[in-house]
Structure 1
């Protein structure tokens, strides 16, 4: 049923997006059309990556889902960077971290916990990801903010570029560790033989490519509506980035992780939620810092203190809940409650 709805949204949304951008329809209306179209396209990306994940195992499947899901976020952020909206980009990165850990993770645990009283996943992967989360968010994101207090703008940019390179190298090393040198050492990756992918490998890759191209076009137009929408509804750029852009940009992971949890495939659900967060913090954010050097306005890896405190809180809360490899619906509810508390705070900020 949902697939039919998303298909209809895509068939209607893409022509409306093109017509609205050409005919210059009201931007507030177009903001809604663009967001719904991106969410619909993200559903196709989620279905395609799920088909690929069935034959690849939870780790690679979760990585594929996170990568193509974050492609939407990356595309939106690149266009926002080009438009000089660095605060929106930093806010959307913060929103991705909070959204993946608290909203996606919380909904996955909650929905799965409603169906199953107790769900389990690899405790070794959970502990490995916990260490990376603390390094990426607590160490790599806090250091630039602390040192920026006594640095010039140029020195802060230089520091941000250096940290970004280190983060990307460590992220690639983490992939090498998990997928090559230590694959299967701490946990066995089992694929259910009776489960068949919805689409063939070739069709899934084609759908991913076409959906990504469509998202790129719609995202470029979406960025141009931010200022009008902010002034019309009284929203700050911080709220748009942290809540709106993050939810729209990560729609693919939202749907896929919840679906996997409902099917009691918690390894891949956790890999999508936490793996996507790690990819945002250790690859997407550093990459955007490096890419900003070719645009008019450089983007240092410096977040505001409310953003940093919110991300650090999300990391420690998630780690404390998931470190035992055992979850239930109440723990999912706690993550969701934390997300809504932070959303209210950023709305009022």
Structure 2
């Protein structure tokens, strides 16, 4: 997989740069930028993981939590600067749904093909899904109920929700990394060696972040043209296309861990990433929106809210017993396909 991602980077990064300089067709540029971000996201993830291993479990856990959704944050920053708040809102929805249904579903399915029953720590899964219930059902649904299309109230309430949610997310990290660290043990041996030295990983992370920022700017600048020319709504682009692009490398890592029967880590990638989006990425984007003068209200459409809520409920039910199989994975993937077509026809 790493060789394939490296090959993608060698091919598509130069093509994206050339396309920018020669003003390629915007749909072609959108495709090139999308294909370039996937391997860059993978490299950022590998560098962050190496730094986390060198830093020890506590600081490493915090680093993984902070940089786990760096690509989505960069794309969203640039989209907010351009005023594409609907795309940013939709990408939040898409990341949550994609991680919960598509990534977890593929992990259950692929791992279940090789192992009839796979086990994981139910305490970790229950804590993450409980936090997801708070992040989605409370923090994202409440603003939609109480604002009643009043933009001023929506922005003010969104700011309050962002502050409270981010504070609870930080408390959750303190809970899992410090006070109750003994509870959050993985069922399998997690001894790992860093792929790169600390210095090398830090340099690679810095360079890949700059490259992601450059390519993401190209992606964001072509979204409106792609929306008009292909007839795709900005909601569909954000929920499905941008969310899958930003998480593709992470998706492959979760599935690979499931194939190796490391379901704790696979679920940590899937459910933990959704938790980061709901309780860390979304609040940060609210603050960034205020800074750019393009406030991002946490007021989602009812199809988005219902899709996110049902995704959380489904994955909570599937993870409750600490075991998974391929049929549960197929059910989650089926739910994602239905939701995806729903947003396509929306």
CA distance 1:254–1:179, shift in 2 (3 Å): same
Query: 1:168 matched to which residue of 2?
Result: 166
- Residue 290 of structure 1 and its aligned partner are, at CA, apart by 1.3
Q: In the aligned structure 2, how far is the partner of 1:58 from the partner of 1:269?
A: 18
Per the alignment, in what secondary structure is the counterpart of residue 31 of structure 1?
A: helix
Query: 1:306 matched to which residue of 2?
Result: 303
Moved more, 111-120 or 203-212: 203-212
Aligned residues of 1:136 and 1:167 also touching (Cα < 8 A): yes
- Residue 329 of structure 1 and its aligned partner are, at CA, apart by 1.0
- Residue 114 of structure 1 and its aligned partner are, at CA, apart by 1.1
Q: In the aligned structure 2, how far is the partner of 1:76 from the partner of 1:9?
A: 20
Query: 1:14 matched to which residue of 2?
Result: 13
Residue by residue over 1:100-120, the C-alpha shift from the partner in whole angstroms, topping out at 9 and shown as x without a partner, is 101111111111111111111
Aligned residues of 2:187 and 2:264 also touching (Cα < 8 A): no
Query: 1:254 matched to which residue of 2?
Result: 251
Query: 1:101 matched to which residue of 2?
Result: 100
Query: 2:23 matched to which residue of 1?
Result: 24
Aligned residues of 1:95 and 1:241 also touching (Cα < 8 A): yes
Query: 1:177 matched to which residue of 2?
Result: 175
TM-score (norm 1): 0.93
- Residue 199 of structure 1 and its aligned partner are, at CA, apart by 2.6
Q: Which runs of 5+ in 1 are unaligned?
A: none
CA distance 1:7–1:157, shift in 2 (3 Å): same
Alignment pair present for 1:235 and 2:232: yes
CA distance 1:288–1:237, shift in 2 (3 Å): same
Query: 2:274 matched to which residue of 1?
Result: 277
Aligned residues of 2:94 and 2:243 also touching (Cα < 8 A): yes
- Residue 55 of structure 1 and its aligned partner are, at CA, apart by 6.7
Written as runs of structure 1 = structure 2, the 5 A alignment for 1:38-49 is 38-49=37-48
Written as runs of structure 1 = structure 2, the 5 A alignment for 1:1-349 is 2-51=1-50, 64-65=63-64, 67-149=66-148, 152-185=150-183, 187=185, 191-193=189-191, 196-349=193-346
Q: In the aligned structure 1, how far is the partner of 2:60 from the partner of 2:264?
A: 10
Aligned residues of 1:38 and 1:218 also touching (Cα < 8 A): yes
Q: In the aligned structure 2, how far is the partner of 1:191 from the partner of 1:60?
A: 19
- Residue 59 of structure 1 and its aligned partner are, at CA, apart by 8.8
Q: In the aligned structure 2, how far is the partner of 1:77 from the partner of 1:5?
A: 27
Aligned residues of 1:75 and 1:219 also touching (Cα < 8 A): yes
Residue by residue over 1:196-240, the C-alpha shift from the partner in whole angstroms, topping out at 9 and shown as x without a partner, is 443333333332222111101100111010011111211010100
Q: In the aligned structure 1, how far is the partner of 2:62 from the partner of 2:332?
A: 22
Q: In the aligned structure 2, how far is the partner of 1:192 from the partner of 1:128?
A: 20
Q: In the aligned structure 2, how far is the partner of 1:84 from the partner of 1:267?
A: 38
- Residue 53 of structure 1 and its aligned partner are, at CA, apart by 6.0
Aligned residues of 1:59 and 1:268 also touching (Cα < 8 A): no
Aligned residues of 1:46 and 1:255 also touching (Cα < 8 A): no
CA distance 1:227–1:285, shift in 2 (3 Å): same
Aligned residues of 1:66 and 1:272 also touching (Cα < 8 A): no
Q: In the aligned structure 2, how far is the partner of 1:161 from the partner of 1:279?
A: 17
Q: In the aligned structure 1, how far is the partner of 2:121 from the partner of 2:203?
A: 32
Residue by residue over 1:112-171, the C-alpha shift from the partner in whole angstroms, topping out at 9 and shown as x without a partner, is 11111111111111111121111110011110000011x632122111101100000000
Moved more, 86-95 or 66-75: 66-75
- How well do the aligned residues superpose, as a CA RMSD in angstroms? 2.1
CA distance 1:95–1:335, shift in 2 (3 Å): same
Aligned residues of 1:42 and 1:69 also touching (Cα < 8 A): no
Q: In the aligned structure 1, how far is the partner of 2:56 from the partner of 2:291?
A: 38
CA distance 1:68–1:259, shift in 2 (3 Å): farther
Per the alignment, in what secondary structure is the counterpart of residue 333 of structure 1?
A: helix
